[in-house]
Amino acid sequence: MSVHNYKPRRRERRGPSRWETLVLWGTLAVAIAFQISYPLLEGEALRLITIGTVYAAALTTLVNAYLSHGSTYLLRYFVITFTFGLVIEQIGVTTGWPFGSYQYDPSLGAFLFHIPLVVPFAWMMLTHPILIAARALSTKWAVVIGGFGLMAWDLFLDPQMVSAGRWSWSDTSPHVPFQPEIPLSNTFGWLLAGILLMSILQLLLPVERRKNGVNTNAGDALLMWTWFSGVVGNIFFFDRPEVAFVGGTAFAIFLFPYLFKRWINRQ
């Protein structure tokens, strides 16, 4: 009888390494720190923080997408969201559809065609966690829920950016309730564009995560911070409680059922 040396199989991936975890939560911390500093700054510092916030949040989302779903998912997500954001914004600026007639200010930095380079990354920064939340809420209605989530986020984003002079509309009638500087066409445009983007992602991105991969905590934290900072910032720093009400209510309709379902599943 022969004796064979036993060599145990390598352990399957048990989650992100310490370095990967540090990068993930570090980029999220930077994005949040930038947003916290926003009401305290002005001039060139505010302009740079505005741009830096987008890139930091987008990087957080890209790292989270990679750790959760792998390199193929990451590459597809990046290409789809960047291309979609660039194309839909180019159509919007050129034709006025679907967001209304608007233009970007040069303060947003380098332009690609007629669109600031930072803008497609703004589309990228929340789309992944919103897609994950929408899929968790309903497989059948994920694209509609995800599109609504993007639209709800924009109810925070646009008033802040228009007030800072980053972009503006030539015609704002009829306007979003309590937001006279934002046309209602923009809200419907975001819902339509959001549903279209979510449909593409739903079709081309895998649903399954890596075995024992990183969980959704970082994405969930980004979504919760978006709601919290939008409500608190508009009430206490921007003196716009009506924006806090409209944006906070809309985003809560999307976010809170998802957080409740996650909490129920943990019981």
**DSSP labels for 12-63?**
PP-S--HHHHHHHHHHHHHHHHHHHHGGG--HHHHHHHHHHHHHHHHHHHHH
For residue 250, is pLDDT > 90?
Answer: yes
CB 145 within 8 Å of CB 134: yes
For residue 220, is pLDDT > 90?
Answer: yes
pTM, full prediction: 0.92
**pLDDT score for 9:** 45
**76-85, 162-171, 177-186, 212-221: range with lowest mean pLDDT:** 212-221
Helix (H, G, I), strand (E, B) or coil at 112: strand
Specify the DSSP class assigned to residue 107. Answer: G
Element housing 240 (H / E): none
Distance CA 126, CA 259 (A): 16
pLDDT confidence bin for 14, thresholds 50/70/90? low
pLDDT confidence bin for 8, thresholds 50/70/90? very low
pLDDT tens for residues 45-68?
Answer: 999 999 999 999 999 999 999 999
167-169/175-176 β-pairing: unpaired
167-169/102-104 β-pairing: antiparallel
For residue 2, is pLDDT > 60?
Answer: no
Q: How far is residue 207 CA from its own chain's centroid? A: 18
Nearest to 157 by CA among 133, 187, 114, 115: 187
Contacts of 49 (CB under 8 A, 6+ apart): 34, 37, 38, 41
pLDDT confidence bin for 204, thresholds 50/70/90? very high
- Residue 10 burial (C-beta neighbours within 10 Å; 0-12, 13-18, 19+): exposed
* b (16+ CB within 10 A) / e for 224-243: ebbbebbbebbbeebebeeb
Q: Which stretches within the chain are classed as H helix? A: 18-37, 43-69, 71-95, 118-137, 142-163, 184-204, 217-232, 241-266
